[in-house]
């Protein structure tokens, strides 16, 4: 019986092998590879250290030395290879990104510090951001702590209330009758639109910020939890009742676990809303945190501080979102990978 009977022809092997070679060429093991990435970091160090700056930047030499050190470490990693274990595998997989980063930094370096193609001081070079982290770390750390505390309290309260509201709405028609119109009326209103009213109504800006973040988190968590509970397959309940389950068991052991995938989607959306409201609230009313730090830097024209705060904010909030998805994958192992991040 020929291969064609099974929908496969010998010519397909050539195409598949070509595709495999193409994928192999663009894989992290062959292009650019750790040695290629190390070479790019070395070029970036040479450009940073030997090309004179248009104006003095305090950490130019230190930044060039750091780039050269990273190049040496990547060269050593390429030589050690499999001896590095999982870390070596991670390096090889991310070699293209490790090679792209020095290219981007070099373009940034040339356009800002070396040629001033980008107007100064609005686009400071990367070593100025490193200078901010070295000199203003105390204020940045204080801002990070305040933002994390505000975000944790706001999203925690909003997620808890939203989960309970969603479960009650999806489980009880009577509760749904009263809650549904409220959700449709209040939910679409942006929480940031309530900032003037909330700052007037609450005794302090911190409590007002918690309320706004909780409100922004509450709506998506409520709606998605409600949808999850209401959408549980009726056959699950029938099987549980056949085994003698009561209403409490059906709610706690059937409805809630079956709705958890929807709950985590709501948590992801609520976290995003909470982060947005956090930054706006700190810029406009709460006199502390990363949002306030950005507003302060813009007001004083400290653009190095502004970009350093933005970079720190991106890394911090990305890490929090990643932690949420890791928690989801651990609790919902059977659905791991269905929602990508």
Asked if the structure places residue 9 within a domain, the reply is no
Q: What's the pTM?
A: 0.81
CB 232 within 8 A of CB 261: no
Asked if the structure places residue 142 within a domain, the reply is yes
Over the stretch 244-301, which tens digit does the pLDDT of each residue have? Answer: 888 888 888 888 888 888 999 999 999 999 999 999 888 877 778 999 999 999 889 8
Q: Give the chain's mean pLDDT.
A: 86
Strand, coil or helix: 51: coil
Same domain, 49 and 27: yes
Same domain, 34 and 168: no
Same domain, 194 and 97: no
Same domain, 211 and 271: yes
Asked if the structure places residue 131 within a domain, the reply is no
Same domain, 74 and 186: no
First to last CA, the chain: 45
Question: pLDDT at position 337, please?
Answer: 64
Over the stretch 218-244, which tens digit does the pLDDT of each residue have? Answer: 999 999 999 999 888 888 888 888 888
Instruction: Give the number of other Cβ atoms within 10 Å of residue 195's Cβ.
Output: 20
Could you say which of 98, 125, 152 is where a domain stops? 125
Over the stretch 104-158, which tens digit does the pLDDT of each residue have? Answer: 999 999 999 999 999 988 999 999 999 999 999 999 999 999 999 999 999 999 9
Question: pLDDT at position 18, please?
Answer: 46
Question: pLDDT at position 154, please?
Answer: 95
Same domain, 119 and 159: no
CB 215 within 8 A of CB 194: yes
Asked if the structure places residue 8 within a domain, the reply is no
Same domain, 216 and 296: yes
Which contacts of 191-195 are long-range, i.e. CB under 8 A and separated by 24 or more positions? Answer: 191/215, 191/216, 191/273, 191/277, 192/276, 192/277, 192/280, 192/281, 195/280, 195/281, 195/284, 195/285
Q: What is the mean pLDDT of residues 165-193?
A: 89
Question: pLDDT at position 100, please?
Answer: 95
Same domain, 273 and 176: yes
Q: What is the mean pLDDT of residues 319-332?
A: 89
Same domain, 118 and 143: no
Q: How far is CA 301 from CA 18, 201, 293, in A?
A: 54, 33, 12
Same domain, 196 and 91: no
Question: pLDDT at position 173, please?
Answer: 87
Domain with 117 in it: 23-125
CB 28 within 8 A of CB 94: yes
| pLDDT of 52 strictly over 60 | yes
Total domains present in the chain: 2
Same domain, 155 and 210: yes
| pLDDT of 196 strictly over 90 | no
Could you say which of 81, 103, 125 is where a domain stops? 125
**Phi, psi angles (nearest 5°) of residue 59:** -110, 25
Same domain, 211 and 330: yes
Asked if the structure places residue 69 within a domain, the reply is yes
Closest CA to 251 of 274, 217, 228: 228
What is the signed CA dihedral for 99, 102, 105, 109, rounded to 10 degrees? Answer: -140
| pLDDT of 333 strictly over 50 | yes
Place of tokens 């911090």: 316
Question: pLDDT at position 284, please?
Answer: 77
Question: pLDDT at position 243, please?
Answer: 84
CB 259 within 8 A of CB 210: no
Could you say which of 125, 146, 169 is where a domain stops? 125
Asked if the structure places residue 296 within a domain, the reply is yes
Asked if the structure places residue 59 within a domain, the reply is yes
Residue 303 banded pLDDT, cuts 50, 70, 90:
very high
Q: Provide the CATH number for the domain around residue 322.
A: 1.10.3720.10
Asked if the structure places residue 117 within a domain, the reply is yes
Could you give the CA distance from residue 224 to residue 115 in angstroms, rounded to a whole number?
52
Over the stretch 8-39, which tens digit does the pLDDT of each residue have? Answer: 444 444 444 444 443 443 343 444 689 999 99
Peptide bond into 121 cis (omega under 30): yes
């Amino acid at each position: 019986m020929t291969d064609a009977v099974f929908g496969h022809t010998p010519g397909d092997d050539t195409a598949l092998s070509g595709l495999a070679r193409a994928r192999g060429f663009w894989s992290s093991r062959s292009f650019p590879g750790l040695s290629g990435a190390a070479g790019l970091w070395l070029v970036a160090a040479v450009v940073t250290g030997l090309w004179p700056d248009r104006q003095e930047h305090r950490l130019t030499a230190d930044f060039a030395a750091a780039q050269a050190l990273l190049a040496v470490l990547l060269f050593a990693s390429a030589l050690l290879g499999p001896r590095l274990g999982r870390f070596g595998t991670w390096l090889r997989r991310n070699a293209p990104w490790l090679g792209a980063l020095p290219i981007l930094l070099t373009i940034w370096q040339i356009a800002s510090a070396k040629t001033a193609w980008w107007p100064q001081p609005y686009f400071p070079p990367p070593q100025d951001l490193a200078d901010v982290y070295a000199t203003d770390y105390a204020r940045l750390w204080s801002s990070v702590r305040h933002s994390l505390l505000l975000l944790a309290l706001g999203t925690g309260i909003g997620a808890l209330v939203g989960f309970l509201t969603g479960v009650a709405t999806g489980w009880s028609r009577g509760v749904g009758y009263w809650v549904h119109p409220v959700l449709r009326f209040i939910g679409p209103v942006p929480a940031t639109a309530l900032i003037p009213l909330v700052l007037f109504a609450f005794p302090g800006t911190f409590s007002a910020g918690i309320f706004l973040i909780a409100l922004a988190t509450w709506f998506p968590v409520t709606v998605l939890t409600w949808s999850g509970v209401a959408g549980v397959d009726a056959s699950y309940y029938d099987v549980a009742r056949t085994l003698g389950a009561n209403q409490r068991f059906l709610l706690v052991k059937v409805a809630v676990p079956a709705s958890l995938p929807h709950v985590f989607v709501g948590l992801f959306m609520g976290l995003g809303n909470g982060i947005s409201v956090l930054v706006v609230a700190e810029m406009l009313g709460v006199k502390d945190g990363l949002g306030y730090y950005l507003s302060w830097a813009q007001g004083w024209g400290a653009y190095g501080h502004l970009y350093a705060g933005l970079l720190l904010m991106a890394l911090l909030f990305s890490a929090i979102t990643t932690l949420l998805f890791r928690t989801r994958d651990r609790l919902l192992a059977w659905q791991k990978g269905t929602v990508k991040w």
